[in-house]
Amino acid sequence: MSKVLLIIGIALGVYWLWRQGRMAESREARPAPPESPAAARQSTVTPLQDMVACAHCGLHLPRSEALADGPGGSAPFYCSAAHRQSGRQA
Protein backbone atom coordinates (compact mmCIF):
# COMPACT_ATOMS: atom_id res chain seq x y z
CA MET A 1 0.00 0.00 0.00
CA SER A 2 2.81 2.43 0.87
CA LYS A 3 4.56 1.74 -2.44
CA VAL A 4 1.38 2.68 -4.32
CA LEU A 5 1.08 5.96 -2.40
CA LEU A 6 4.76 6.70 -3.07
CA ILE A 7 4.32 6.12 -6.81
CA ILE A 8 1.18 8.32 -6.89
CA GLY A 9 3.05 11.07 -5.00
CA ILE A 10 5.97 10.94 -7.40
CA ALA A 11 3.62 10.97 -10.40
CA LEU A 12 1.79 14.04 -9.02
CA GLY A 13 5.10 15.79 -8.40
CA VAL A 14 6.31 15.13 -11.93
CA TYR A 15 2.97 16.33 -13.34
CA TRP A 16 3.13 19.51 -11.23
CA LEU A 17 6.67 20.27 -12.43
CA TRP A 18 5.66 19.62 -16.03
CA ARG A 19 2.69 22.05 -15.69
CA GLN A 20 4.92 24.74 -14.18
CA GLY A 21 7.33 24.46 -17.09
CA ARG A 22 4.53 24.72 -19.66
CA MET A 23 3.02 27.74 -17.92
CA ALA A 24 6.40 29.50 -17.89
CA GLU A 25 6.89 28.81 -21.60
CA SER A 26 3.46 30.19 -22.48
CA ARG A 27 4.14 33.39 -20.48
CA GLU A 28 7.42 33.95 -22.31
CA ALA A 29 5.94 33.29 -25.76
CA ARG A 30 2.95 35.59 -25.28
CA PRO A 31 3.53 39.04 -26.89
CA ALA A 32 2.84 42.11 -24.79
CA PRO A 33 -0.47 43.81 -25.58
CA PRO A 34 -0.14 47.15 -27.38
CA GLU A 35 -0.46 50.17 -25.13
CA SER A 36 -3.58 52.23 -25.73
CA PRO A 37 -3.31 56.02 -26.15
CA ALA A 38 -5.31 56.52 -22.94
CA ALA A 39 -2.84 54.40 -20.98
CA ALA A 40 0.06 56.32 -22.50
CA ARG A 41 -1.44 59.62 -21.33
CA GLN A 42 -1.96 58.27 -17.81
CA SER A 43 1.63 57.09 -17.54
CA THR A 44 3.12 60.52 -18.27
CA VAL A 45 4.90 62.08 -15.34
CA THR A 46 3.82 65.53 -14.24
CA PRO A 47 6.67 68.02 -13.93
CA LEU A 48 7.93 68.94 -10.48
CA GLN A 49 6.60 72.16 -9.01
CA ASP A 50 8.12 74.58 -6.53
CA MET A 51 6.62 74.20 -3.07
CA VAL A 52 6.00 77.15 -0.75
CA ALA A 53 4.89 77.34 2.87
CA CYS A 54 1.85 79.27 4.09
CA ALA A 55 3.05 82.26 6.14
CA HIS A 56 0.20 81.71 8.63
CA CYS A 57 0.03 77.93 9.28
CA GLY A 58 3.16 76.57 7.58
CA LEU A 59 1.28 74.23 5.20
CA HIS A 60 3.37 73.37 2.13
CA LEU A 61 1.58 73.62 -1.22
CA PRO A 62 2.54 74.07 -4.88
CA ARG A 63 3.38 77.65 -5.83
CA SER A 64 0.70 77.52 -8.56
CA GLU A 65 -2.00 76.92 -5.90
CA ALA A 66 -0.70 79.41 -3.33
CA LEU A 67 -2.06 82.92 -2.85
CA ALA A 68 0.82 85.39 -3.07
CA ASP A 69 0.58 88.62 -1.13
CA GLY A 70 3.88 90.18 -2.07
CA PRO A 71 4.70 92.48 -4.98
CA GLY A 72 4.73 90.71 -8.33
CA GLY A 73 3.38 87.43 -6.93
CA SER A 74 6.20 86.89 -4.47
CA ALA A 75 6.34 85.95 -0.77
CA PRO A 76 4.58 85.85 1.59
CA PHE A 77 2.40 82.99 0.37
CA TYR A 78 -0.85 81.79 1.90
CA CYS A 79 -2.89 78.59 1.53
CA SER A 80 -6.31 80.31 1.69
CA ALA A 81 -7.97 83.71 1.55
CA ALA A 82 -8.75 83.52 5.28
CA HIS A 83 -5.08 83.08 6.12
CA ARG A 84 -4.18 85.93 3.76
CA GLN A 85 -6.65 88.20 5.59
CA SER A 86 -5.24 87.23 8.99
CA GLY A 87 -1.74 87.94 7.69
CA ARG A 88 -2.75 91.44 6.58
CA GLN A 89 -4.36 92.24 9.94
CA ALA A 90 -1.29 91.29 11.96
- The reported pTM is 0.47
C-alpha to C-alpha distance for 85 and 80, rounded to whole angstroms: 9
Structure confidence by residue, pLDDT tens digits, 53-78 = 999 999 999 999 999 888 877 889 99
Cβ-based burial of 34 (10 A; exposed 0-12, middle 13-18, buried ≥19): exposed
At residue 51 the predicted structure's pLDDT band, cuts being 50, 70 and 90, is very high
**CB-based contacts of 20, cutoff 8 Å, min separation 6:** none
pLDDT at 39 over 80: no
In b/e form, how buried is each residue of 17-32, taking b as 16+ CB within 10 angstroms? Answer: eeeeeeeeeeeeeeee
Confidence of residue 42 (pLDDT cuts 50, 70, 90): low
- What letter would DSSP give residue 72? T
With 80 as the cut, is the pLDDT of residue 3 above it? Answer: yes
